[in-house]
Amino acid sequence: MADSEIMVVDERLLKDKIYIVRGTQVMLDFELAEIYGYETRYFNRQVQNNRERFRGDDFMFQLTEEEFENLKCNFFTSSWGGRRKLPYAFTEQGIYMLMTVLKGELAIEQSRTLIRLFKGMKDYIIENKQLMLSQADYYTLAERVENNSKNIESIKGKMITRAELSDFMKLFDRSTQNEEILILDGQPFKADGAYQKIYRSAKKSIIIIDDYIGTKTLQHLVHARPGVQLTIISDNKLKLLKLSEYNDFLTEYPTRTIDFIKTQDRTHDRYIILDNETEDMKVYHCGASSKDAGKRITTIARLMDTDAYREAICTLLTNPPLVLK
């Protein structure tokens, strides 16, 4: 066939056959087959015979049922009906690869026309700085905006109100500057009250992991329920807690015996563990040592994934005892 006899599809008609799927400009197999003068099954057979050239979603991919239904709803034509298989979508790179698969002058010219069209559309987007969306993509974007709006409302619901913030800031007033402030699970507490609240909730045992302990550490434990087993795992760095101070504690509270175990320099953060041998085990992460409670604003937060700590706690409990001096 002479060059003058080659029939190339008008670019204006081709634009209507380019869709945005997964954020990429694509054309569908049955419409490409029509452009190249093939039946769809023979067109796809040529591609499958050369599948290694189209390997990867950046060349071609098969539409999902949802993607195809969205396109049908927005761009339906009579030629789209009666398909038994979901169509394949070809990207710009896939169109270029078709030149190496489909032989003949018509195939080459059609591929060149399509590639020029893809490039022209990209240039148009860049020059006009506009986002070209299909109706299906528009709906997807609208859905994301709606979900984001719901998430924002949810966040707003959890935010501290101005009134609550005002009450919180009162804690910093000069008249209360000697009060010891601590944040427990997002709520402001006087520091002693926060520790008392935690220790009173223990049913069987309390374990404190803290390398820096002092007399205030012991004083907080007075508020635990009678019969609760008390353990402090610490290297007592800086030797801030003396044996004489612990003996004075036992004299005043003879029923509050405490087991001391070394951390052997194996911990960095501070924790409070309640009821470690039960299904109701609670683990709190402490931003500061209890001996310093309230000297600076700090936080105690409950950790929900307690299973991750069980083995580590058991290991620490097998360490040698700490001897106070």
Residue linked to tokens 């992460």: 285
The model carries a pTM of 0.47
CA atoms within 13 A on the CB side of 260: 17
CA atoms within 13 A on the CB side of 316: 29
Q: Has residue 236 got a pLDDT over 80?
A: yes
pLDDT tier, 122 (very low <50, low <70, confident <90, very high otherwise): low
pLDDT tier, 169 (very low <50, low <70, confident <90, very high otherwise): low
**Interior CA angle at 201 toward 197 and 206, to 5°?**
100
Amino acid type, 320: P
pLDDT tens per residue across span 251-300: 989 988 999 999 999 988 999 999 998 989 999 998 888 887 666 678 88
What's the pLDDT score for residue 155?
55
E strands in the chain: 19-21, 24-28, 60-62, 88-90, 181-184, 187-190, 205-209, 229-233, 258-261, 270-274, 282-286, 299-303
Hey, what are 189's tokens? 């507490």
For domain 180-317, say whether CATH 1.10.287.3510 is its number.
no
pLDDT tier, 76 (very low <50, low <70, confident <90, very high otherwise): low
Q: What percent of the chain has pLDDT over 90?
A: 26
The H-or-E segment that residue 218 falls in is helix 215-221
Please tell me the least confidently modeled range out of 27-36, 80-89, 104-113, 240-249.
104-113
The domain segmentation of the chain, as residue ranges, is: 3-140, 180-317
Hey, what are 231's tokens? 């353990």
CA-to-CA separations, 324 to 32, 96, 177, 270, in angstroms, rounded: 84, 79, 34, 20
